[in-house]
């Protein structure tokens, strides 16, 4: 019975990470990178480069989050995570379509896999989703957060590759960001409740 309770908590943590990161990343620059590269190259090396980059970025984030959680008192970690998620939620709720005018510069002379890996790694290093992964992993199972977040980022990358820019423009990104913002705010409340 204890094992099933532990598995349930792991699945809940992985599921929460998946949902949060997938919504936060939908329509973000990493999806634009995948769309742009997949429009010119085969999708498989683009997908592989993106997934490897995200797996590494998430590993760095969960290691950092777990280290912070082990080093700082639980109240400090919970307060910082609550504040961080509240800021992310507020920012996501303020999202407007005009913010999406980013261009992707392809690196010449590299393989498609390497180009995708470098572009995703540089674009996402220190991004809100990486910080969110670090924050989540400081409060719940780090391996569950890594699995959920990596699967979410792989999903959004594959959607970007398969759907292309035309379909993404039809999706109501403002509403996706509002749902993401609401989820961040809800997680901020949950983290803040650990202070009392």
In tens digits, the chain (196 residues) has pLDDT values of: 446 777 888 999 999 899 988 888 877 777 777 877 887 778 899 999 999 999 999 999 999 888 877 787 877 767 776 787 787 778 767 766 555 444 445 545 458 899 889 888 887 887 788 888 888 888 888 999 999 999 999 999 998 888 754 555 555 566 666 776 777 677 678 767 766 7
The answer to whether the CB of 58 falls within 8 A of the CB of 168 is no
The angle formed by the CA atoms of residues 8, 188 and 32, to the nearest 5 degrees, is: 85
Phi, psi for residue 73 in degrees, rounded to 5: -60, 150
Cα–Cα distance measured from residue 39 to residue 26, given in angstroms and rounded to the nearest whole number: 18
Enclosing domain of residue 150: 2-193
Looking at residue 53, its pLDDT comes to 95
| pTM, entire model | 0.70
How many domains, the chain?
1
């Amino acid at each position: 019975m204890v094992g099933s309770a532990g598995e349930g908590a792991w699945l809940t943590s992985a599921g929460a990470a998946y949902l949060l990161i997938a919504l936060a990343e939908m329509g973000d620059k990493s999806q634009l990178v995948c769309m742009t590269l997949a429009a010119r190259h085969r999708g498989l090396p683009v997908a592989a480069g993106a997934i490897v980059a995200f797996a590494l970025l998430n590993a760095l984030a969960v290691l950092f989050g777990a280290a912070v959680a082990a080093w700082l008192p639980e109240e400090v970690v919970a307060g910082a995570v609550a504040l961080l998620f509240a800021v992310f939620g507020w920012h996501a709720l303020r999202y407007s379509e005009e913010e999406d005018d980013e261009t992707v510069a392809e690196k010449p002379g590299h393989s498609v896999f390497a180009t995708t890996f470098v572009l995703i790694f540089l674009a996402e290093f220190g991004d809100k989703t990486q910080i969110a992964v670090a924050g989540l992993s400081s409060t719940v199972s780090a391996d569950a957060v890594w699995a959920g977040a990596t699967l979410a980022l792989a999903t959004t990358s594959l959607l970007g590759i398969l759907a292309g820019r035309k379909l993404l423009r039809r999706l109501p990104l403002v509403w996706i960001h509002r749902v993401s913002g609401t989820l961040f705010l809800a997680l901020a409340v949950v983290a803040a409740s650990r202070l009392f």
